[in-house]
Each structure stands twice: as C-alpha cells, then as structure tokens.
Chains A and B, each alone.
Chain A
Amino acid sequence: MNQGSSLKRYAITRLALVVPMVFILLTLVFLLMRVAPGNPVSASLGGHAPPSVIKAISHQLGYDKPVYVQYGHYLGQIIRGNFGTTISDRRSVGSIILVNGAATLELTFFAMIVAVVVGMLIGLLSGRYRDSPLDAGGRLFGIVVYATPVFFLGLLAQLIFGVWLGWLPISDQASPITQALLQTHTNIFFLDAIIDRNWSALWDITQHLILPATTLGIVYGGVFIRLIRVNVIRTMKEDYIEAARARGIKERSVVYHHAFRNALVPVITVVGLQLALLLGGAILTETTFNWPGLGHELYIYLQNRDYAAVQGIVVVFALVVVAASIVIDFANAFIDPRVRY
C-alpha cells in the first residue's frame, strides 16, 4: 500500500470525472439562457428597433437557426477556446474574462484572506473557550454577518468609512489618475503596481480594495465562524484527545496539534463548496462598489439578455467552482489519509 501510487490513482480518477461534469455544465447554461424570457437582439438595440432589423441581425448572428444547431456551434467554439462576442457591445468574451476576471480575482482573493483570518480566529477561539463571553460575542458576530445581505453591509461600510469618516474611497478599483498611468501586465492592478514598483499606485489600489474585500470577506467568514466552532467543540470531545492527555501531552499541543488540525479538515471542503457563495457575493459586492469585475459585468449583460456574454461569464464562474472542488479534494486526500482509499 504505497502512498504515492494510491494518491496518483485517486488524482487520475478525480480528473477524469471533470470532463462529463464540464459538459453537463455547458449544456445547462446554454439551455437556461434559451429558456429565459427576452430577446438579446431586441434588448441590445434598445427595444424599439423595427422587426426587419432585428431579424437581419438575428440571422447574421445565427440566432434564427434551430437550437441544436446553435448548441453544436457553441460547443465547437468552446472546444477551440473561443467564447464568442457579446451581442450588445461586440466585445470579445475572452477579453472580458481576462480583464474583468482579473478584477474579480483581486477582490475575491483578498476577501478570502479576510474570511479565513476572521473565520479561523473567531471560530477556533469560540470553540476552544466555549460558553465564555468571547464565545458569545463570536457567535453573535457570526450570525449577524451571515444573516446580513452583502450589499447592505457594503452600503453601511460606504456610509460609515467613506461618507461619515471619509477614510476610504467607496467605489472603483482605483482612482482615475492611477488607472490612466498604471501599466497593465496581468490586469490585476495590485500585481501590476508591484511589478512596476509604483508604490503610490499600490497605496491607492489598496485603499480602494479595503472596503469591498472586507465586506465580502466578513460575510463569507461568518459561515466559517460557526462551522469551525462546532468542529472544534466536537473534536475536543474525541477519544484521541483524551488519550493524548493520558500520555501527558501538553494542553497546548493537544489543542493545536490534535484538536484544531482535525477540526479544520471538514472545513476545507466547505471552503471549496462555499466558493460559489463567494462568487455570488462578488456579484453583489462589485455592483455595490462599482468594482469592474466579472460579477458587475454579468449584472449588466443579464439586463441586456446578452446570451454570449452571460454564457461566457457563467461558464467561467462554474469552471472556477469545479477547479476549486478538485483542489479541495486533493487537499483533503493529502491531509486525511482515509480519503485515499
């Protein structure tokens, strides 16, 4: 029973399952968009175009063909890596994904850091010092932020820190001057500023990041607080914890080495599954903070019934969730030896 080979076999099986998963996903997104009411061509033309024009453009874009022909064409394009062109403003969906995706990546990455720090810190301490005032505060905080809609928390943060206190900018990814002067390498502003060693731009970008990333991160962290707390409490009651104490292991080591570590294993899975929540939250956060990310774009294109754009963005979101679930599974297999068999 060699560990390396069993891990490899597990990896291959897991990766092979991705192909049917992605196929089902593409099909569902395609069909859902056709079922949704509204015509993308008329919506993009403002709703007052004469029927003949609409027909001509529909024909030009291939939307008058039977659905199965459109579907085949769509799949063929996707396999070649071509996500198509938006109907409303004729942008390449690929470039939307690159440019706006970078903004979303920046936001969600820092939100994730905030979520993990907040969630682990409060969750672990609440579980460790169960029923203490610290625990009561932590639980209350967890429930409140989880129950609060992310846009409401965003508006509140804008009002307090942006308007009343005037500490932080309340919208956009950077100030106009920074955006104009910043060289783009990765489209991720934060990285671009670091690459150019442009510290004043980095400071400006960081200031713009704080409110949206903290808002999204705290809401996402609320999920972890409760989950981690419960897991710590459950793990502290495990037989192997008592057995470790019976061997004279220091309480510190018992808590950190046995309880916390084991309590975090199921949390890893949830972090991955909740990534969908994070992306959903990103749509609302980006709209609230006028953050030029994929979520913000998705919101606009949905209003225009822009099949091509929505399909492209939703598929990217879905692929990210799929990729995350694979990473999570590997992480679990790596940490928990029982998963490999």
Chain B
Amino acid sequence: MTAILEVRDLRLWYGTARGSVRAVDRVSLEIDAGSVLGLVGESGCGKSTLGRGILGLLPEGARADGEVLYKGRNLVTMSPRELRRLRGPDLGLIFQEPMTRLNPLLRIEDHFRETIEQHDSKLTPKDVRRRSLDTLGRMGIPPTRFRQYPHEFSGGMRQRIMIALALVLRPSLLVADEPTTSLDVIVEAQILRILADLKENFDTALLLITHNLGIVAEACDRVAVMYAGQIAEEGPARDVFADPKHPYTRELLRSTISLDTKVLHSIPGAPPNLISPPSGCHFHPRCPDVMRVCPAHDPIETQPDPDRRVLCWLHGPEREIPDGGTAPLEREQIAVAEEA
C-alpha cells in the first residue's frame, strides 16, 4: 500500500509568555491510503496539535517546521490559499465536541451547500442536494431532517452530521480528534462503526486521535503512541498491544480498566510540561526501567521488528550507549539529574 500522508520530522510550537511550547517535536508518521492509524497518549501530549497541524489549522502565533507530504506536496510550506483548497476535498477534520461545531443559525442544508459549493461550484443545486442526502443517509440521518437546524439534533446525531459534512467531499484523509469523547457509549459504538467502515464506503484513510486504548484495539490498523510531543512507539496495532516495546506503552496498557481489574494501575507522576521537558528521554522521570543513559542522552529511534519503531534506549542502538549507561538509575539520582 502507498502512503497517502507522510509526516517527516514535523515540529510545531507556540510562543507563550513563559517560553515556547514544543507541542510536536520531530514527529514522523505515515498513513496508508484507506487505513486507520490510531494516535494515543495522555492529555496534553500534543496529539491534537499534531492532528490540526496536519491541516494547517493552528492558532495564531504557532510555527511549523519539517514536512507534511500529502500526495507528494508539502503542506507546511504551502500557501494558505492552496491549503484551504485541500481542506474539504482532500483533508477532513472532525472534532471532539459536536454540540458547538455547527452554526446555530444555519440549517443542515446550508452547511452542506456552502461546503460543496466552495469546492465544486459546477454542481447543480439538485446534485448538491442529492450528494448531501446520500452522505447523510449513510450516516443514518433521514432526508426529512435535512432542512432542520442544529439545535434540533442530539449530540450523537450532530457528530454523524459533522462526519457526513467532512465526508461529502470524499477526502482521502480524515483526522478524527477524539470524536467520541463527549458521547455516551452506545452512540460511541455507532460512531466507531461508521469510522471503521470508512474504508469500504469512502476509501478514506483515518487518523484517529484518542486516549482510549480500547478504541484503538478495535478500530485501528496501526497505532502510534505519543509522549511529550514525540512518537514513543509505532507499529501494527495488534503487535504493539501484544508486545509493547516502550515502557510507556506497557504502562499505558497496564493502566486500562477491564472487568478483571482488581487493583487500579496508574503511571506515577504527571505528563511533563512542554516548555522545558525533562532532558534526554522525556519519559525518564516516570519510567520504571530508567537507566543511566536515559536522562543524559536523547534516545535514538530503532526498529526492533521490521514493521515497528520505538524511541527508547532499552532497544539500543548499543554502540551509542556510553559505558555503564545501561545500569539502572536510582530514584535519588533522578532527582539530582532533574535539578541539574
């Protein structure tokens, strides 16, 4: 399969009063046409910024560096005008909170008409209507509700409308930023089914951003685990879940709750602040397997299996680790390293 989107060494940062926030720090990813990539991580690890950064939808004052190659064109250096034209027919985005994402003064019909006409002005009103109703129908919204206003729909229906609105232009890639977080479990299952069927119905690749590992296991072909603006581990979802290579992934998997859960496991400590992240491997202050090398040197990406990559000194490369670097690091030493 060919990659529809290649992210190479992408860095995204915002300037704030307290310093610049490196929300995305040298991230590389690939998404194949028609496949689903899950992006997981704790709140504030930069996953939403990455999702929006791909579409060039960053707040004012944000800067980007690196490459986001969509069908061979670099979105980072593209003019805002060209990028605007790609949003919709090529790149779609759906959001966490569907309740406030539709303009309350416009009918559902108006949203669709505006979206379609802005990108394909040659269509007749009849075609616009037919295409909108067809897409809405596939999301389970009947044509009778086409002329209603957003406030007449429930949250789950609004999210399905948002998905239909994103898909009506048949984008090759859809970024879904925690699309089910604000919905109840039944609706969540419904939305996930729709997203999982995107490939069959629309041949759309999906970047599914979530903090819910269950969703990833169910819906994703591959998974990327993000920590402090970096990709800690990436690989086929099945393999990563069966045999996590990065201690963070392992701890994250242990922290999920199931019916068999007797003792709730959590990762001690809090996600690092992205203005001045910990030295070396950003995860080292919370890592149970921390070694002497971890706070001292930035980890180097390795491929423990041909199809997987991980950013952790446990997996080498050994020739880069200084002598005695693999010895475990005591907690006091971490504190010292922190202060230094």
Which residues in A have some Cβ–Cβ distance to B below 8 Å? 1, 238-240, 242-251, 253, 257-258, 261-262, 265, 335-338
Contact = CB atoms under 8 A, between A and B. Distances in A.
Interface stretch (B36-44, B83-91, B292-300, B320-328): B83-91
Interface stretch (B20-28, B98-106, B223-231): B98-106
Contact of A239 (B100, B114, B115, B118): B100
A251 B87 CA distance: 12
A249 B101 CA distance: 14
A67 B253 CA distance: 84
Interface string B158-169: 000010011001
Interface in B199-216: none
B105 A251 contact: no
Given A247-B87, A251-B84, A240 B114 contact: no
A249 B115 contact: yes
Interface in B104-160: 104-105, 114-115, 118-119, 148-149, 151-152
A270 to B, nearest CB: 18
B101 A240 contact: yes
A181 B103 CA distance: 55
A31 to B, nearest CB: 43
B149 A338 contact: yes
A247 B55 contact: no
The 5 closest A-B pairs by CB, nearest first: A248-B88, A248-B87, A239-B100, A246-B93, A243-B101
B149 to A, nearest CB: 4
B115 A336 contact: no
Contacts of B103: 240, 244, 258, 262
B57 A242 contact: yes
A250 B57 contact: no
B102 A243 contact: yes
B119 A243 contact: no
A185 to B, nearest CB: 41
A250 B95 contact: no
A337 B151 contact: yes
Nearest to A240: B103
B92 interface: yes
Interface in B52-92: 55, 57, 84-89, 92
Nearest to A3: B147
A243 B165 CA distance: 10
Main secondary structure of the interface of A (DSSP, over half): helix
Given A247-B87, A250-B84, A337-B149, 20 more contacts: A1-B148, A238-B100, A242-B95, A242-B101, A243-B162, A244-B103, A245-B57, A246-B55, A246-B57, A246-B92, A246-B95, A247-B88, A247-B115, A248-B89, A249-B118, A251-B84, A253-B114, A261-B105, A335-B105, A336-B104
A92 B290 CA distance: 96
A248 B119 contact: yes
A246 B100 contact: no
A239 B99 CA distance: 9
A249 B57 CA distance: 12
Nearest to A259: B103
Contact of B104 (A243, A244, A246, A337): A337
29 contacts: A240-B100, A242-B57, A242-B101, A243-B101, A244-B103, A244-B114, A245-B57, A245-B87, A246-B57, A246-B87, A246-B93, A246-B95, A246-B166, A247-B87, A247-B88, A247-B92, A247-B115, A247-B118, A247-B165, A247-B166, A248-B85, A248-B87, A249-B115, A258-B103, A262-B104, A262-B105, A336-B104, A336-B105, A337-B151
Contacts of B152: 1
Given A239-B95, A240-B101, A240-B102, A248 B151 contact: no
Nearest to B104: A338
A73 to B, nearest CB: 50
Contact of A248 (B118, B149, B162): B118
A244 B105 CA distance: 13
A143 to B, nearest CB: 26
Nearest to A244: B103
Nearest to A238: B100
Contacts of A338: 104, 149, 151
A44 B33 CA distance: 91
B97 interface: yes
A1 B144 CA distance: 11
A248 B165 CA distance: 11
Contacts of B55: 246
Nearest to B93: A246
Contacts of B114: 244, 249, 253, 257
Contacts of A261: 105
B131 to A, nearest CB: 14
B105 A239 contact: no
Chain B CB within 10 Å, residue with most, of A239, A243, A337: A243
Contacts of B86: 248
A212 B19 CA distance: 54
Contacts of B57: 242, 245-246
B92 to A, nearest CB: 7
Nearest to B88: A248
Nearest to A251: B84
Nearest to A335: B105
Contacts of A247: 87-88, 92, 115, 118, 165-166, 169
Contacts of B85: 248
Nearest to A243: B101
A265 B101 CA distance: 18
B86 to A, nearest CB: 7
Contacts of B118: 247-250, 253
A310 to B, nearest CB: 43
A276 B128 CA distance: 47
B45 to A, nearest CB: 21
Nearest to A1: B152
B165 A265 contact: no
B97 A239 contact: yes
B276 to A, nearest CB: 29
A262 to B, nearest CB: 6
